[in-house]
C-alpha cells in the first residue's frame, strides 16, 4: 500500500509541474525501436513503474514497459524509428546516450533539426509538433524521484 501511495504522489507531482501532458515514448520491440504518441493518462497507467532511485534519492517513477504494456501502447499512434541494430550502432558511435539518440530520431522523424538541450520538463517539452508540446522518453527513463520532488517543493 505504501508503495502505491509513493507512486501516486510522484506521478501527481510530476503531472502538476510538467509543461505538457503529451508524450512520445520509445522502446525496443521485436528488433525495432518503436515510438508511440500518447498522453499522461495512458502512459502512467501503462508502463510507468515505481523503482528505486539511484544515489539515495528514494523511489523514482520510470518508463519500464513489459511486453503487455508495449502492445497496449502500440494500439495507439505508433511508428518505427529504426531497427534495434541501427539504434545500437548510433549509440555506440555517438557521444549521446540512448535517450538523447531517441530524441534525435523522433525530432528528425518530424522533419525538425535536433539540438541537445537541458530545458527542464517544467518549462517546455522536448519537441513541438503542430503546436503540441511532447516529452520524449525511452525505456528505463526516469520521470522524477523523491529527492527531486522534495527539492522542487522547497
The per-residue pLDDT for 8 is 95
| Cα→Cα distances 64→60, 70, 92, 94, 118, Å | 11, 10, 22, 24, 23
DSSP three-state, residue 152: helix
The per-residue pLDDT for 111 is 98
The per-residue pLDDT for 41 is 87
Rounded to whole angstroms, how far apart are CA atoms 37 and 117? 21
Q: 3-state SS of the chain: helix, strand, coil percent to 5? A: 40, 30, 30
The per-residue pLDDT for 73 is 95
What is this structure's pTM? 0.94
**Average confidence (pLDDT) per 10 residues, the chain, 154 residues:** 92 97 97 96 91 94 96 94 98 97 98 95 97 97 96 92
Contacts of 95 (CB under 8 A, 6+ apart): none
Burial of 123 (0-12, 13-18, 19+ CB in 10 A): exposed
The per-residue pLDDT for 154 is 84
The per-residue pLDDT for 120 is 96
The per-residue pLDDT for 85 is 98
Amino acid at each position: 500500500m505504501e508503495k502505491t501511495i509513493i507512486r501516486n504522489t510522484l506521478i501527481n507531482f510530476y503531472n502538476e509541474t510538467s509543461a505538457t501532458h503529451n508524450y512520445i515514448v520509445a522502446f525496443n520491440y521485436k528488433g525495432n525501436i518503436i515510438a508511440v504518441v500518447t498522453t499522461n493518462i495512458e502512459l502512467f497507467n501503462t508502463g510507468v513503474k515505481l523503482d528505486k532511485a539511484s544515489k539515495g534519492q528514494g523511489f523514482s517513477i520510470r518508463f519500464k514497459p513489459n511486453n503487455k504494456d508495449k502492445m497496449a501502447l502500440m494500439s495507439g499512434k505508433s511508428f518505427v524509428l529504426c531497427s534495434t541494430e541501427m539504434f545500437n550502432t548510433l549509440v555506440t558511435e555517438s557521444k549521446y546516450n540512448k535517450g538523447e539518440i531517441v530524441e534525435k530520431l523522433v525530432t528528425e522523424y518530424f522533419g525538425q533539426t535536433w539540438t541537445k538541450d537541458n530545458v527542464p520538463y517544467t518549462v517546455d517539452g522536448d519537441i513541438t509538433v503542430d503546436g503540441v508540446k511532447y516529452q520524449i522518453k525511452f525505456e528505463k527513463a526516469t520521470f522524477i524521484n523523491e529527492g527531486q520532488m522534495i527539492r522542487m517543493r522547497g
